[in-house]
Structure 1
């Protein structure tokens, strides 16, 4: 039996979102500052640069919670941690997937019925129910934070390798599929993300602004024009192209700039 006080019930902390086992908290002010940092903290708060933290109720999680390595801050109650490795073959597969996607090879899994609290971050937290994405989503690098352990991870390869190389894009992205809740860490708030739904149609994006897209979409990197001359005249060069039926989340600026 445990009791947590002066945390979620603290008047300086508000609940931004809650879905499944995940609750997203936001600190309204940064009180733990020294005098020399007070000015920076004041203007950061005015610009919505605030600490956010994810709290997981393991009793509500399907199969436990899988985290990005190093994301756990503290736990309370009956919480058990494992590596999630189910044998040498599973380890080699996860190591290879981590190598090509840039994600951590080993993502710890937490089970039980206690409370799991993640490290605070100044990034924005997005909670996604994969049922809203027809059970499959592909993520931009560095977006994954946590998910229910029933969800499956895999490396998703671009459809045309040569254009991906030419467009300075990675050849692989992390794909997550199944039924459950996914927790993402974004440089942009949900209020600024544009959601585009395609029905047997095409979306072309100049720049790395797509942070997530349905696994059902065909993703390639192509010339903006039909010819090299046409691309040169348009001034766009190579664009990211999504074809088929599904959804795409677009940030207002190219990722890596923010």
Structure 2
């Protein structure tokens, strides 16, 4: 049994923008499904790179033949695909409930296993494909950035250092960490061309705001005052900053990250 697709990844309005392992990212060059009153807005949006994008998972290209994804992200699938809850017993279910409650991610991330394809809901955000191996086997991601990953990767809740300062700075206490060898797909409000990747060697980076998208678990993440004294912090006009210290990698956006308020448009 075989399914042949027409006007999917090879459509005149579709462009393949990234491909890595079992993941493909397609981008619709213009929003053609609009009424006359929205046409002008859609035209200028496409000129400013505001476009719908979709993640396509080719399960037979993953070593595990299985992917995990954010709950509710699946749009359609085809071929020999078996959806699973990703829960391996009562203890695993309890751990995932706890991890989901502290990281802000969905507690249950469904898995799709087989040799077919799974296509996720479209998003106006940019989709980044990262190999955890390039991050020395571990990557911690910012809240809300997770989209999908190789099901062989281990998920953990990573707690920020100095929780009291994190609360004062408006940060969450936990972030999602992924460990192992495999790919992860992340959502970003800015394109890869506007992201900075820095490899630290026993050094430090201080960022004013939640601009980091991902960082190595070997880095110590804290929220600190810009100067040692409250008066100095007030005089500098900065207050609290996010600090990443040690040896590892960090990927962050030096430009505003809040220009897209809704990640998904598939509802």
User: TM-score, structure 2 length as denominator?
Assistant: 0.94
**Where do residues 131-150 of structure 1 align in structure 2 (5 Å cutoff)?**
131-150=133-152
Cα distance, 1:37 vs structure 2 = 1.2
| Corresponding position of 1:87 | 89
**Where do residues 150-169 of structure 1 align in structure 2 (5 Å cutoff)?**
150-169=152-171
Work out whether residues 62 and 149 of structure 1, in 8 Å CA contact, stay in contact via their aligned partners in 2. Answer: no
Please identify runs of 4+ aligned residues in structure 1 that moved more than 2 A: 252-258
**Where do residues 29-178 of structure 1 align in structure 2 (5 Å cutoff)?**
29-63=30-64, 64-178=66-180
Cα distance, 1:252 vs structure 2 = 2.2
**Where do residues 228-247 of structure 1 align in structure 2 (5 Å cutoff)?**
228-247=230-249
Cα distance, 1:161 vs structure 2 = 1.0
| Corresponding position of 2:207 | 205
The alignment of Structure 1 onto Structure 2 pairs a total of residues equal to: 258
Question: In structure 1, what is the Cα distance between the partners aligned to 2:191 and 2:32?
Answer: 23
Structure 1, unaligned runs of 5 or more: none
Structure 2, unaligned runs of 5 or more: 261-267
User: TM-score, structure 1 length as denominator?
Assistant: 0.97
Work out whether residues 149 and 185 of structure 2, in 8 Å CA contact, stay in contact via their aligned partners in 1. Answer: yes
Work out whether residues 207 and 254 of structure 1, in 8 Å CA contact, stay in contact via their aligned partners in 2. Answer: no
Deviation string 1:205-229 (CA, Å, 9 cap, x unpaired) is 1111111111110000011101112
Question: In structure 1, what is the Cα distance between the partners aligned to 2:75 and 2:130?
Answer: 22
Cα distance, 1:253 vs structure 2 = 3.4
Deviation string 1:55-75 (CA, Å, 9 cap, x unpaired) is 111001132010100111111
Cα distance, 1:125 vs structure 2 = 0.3
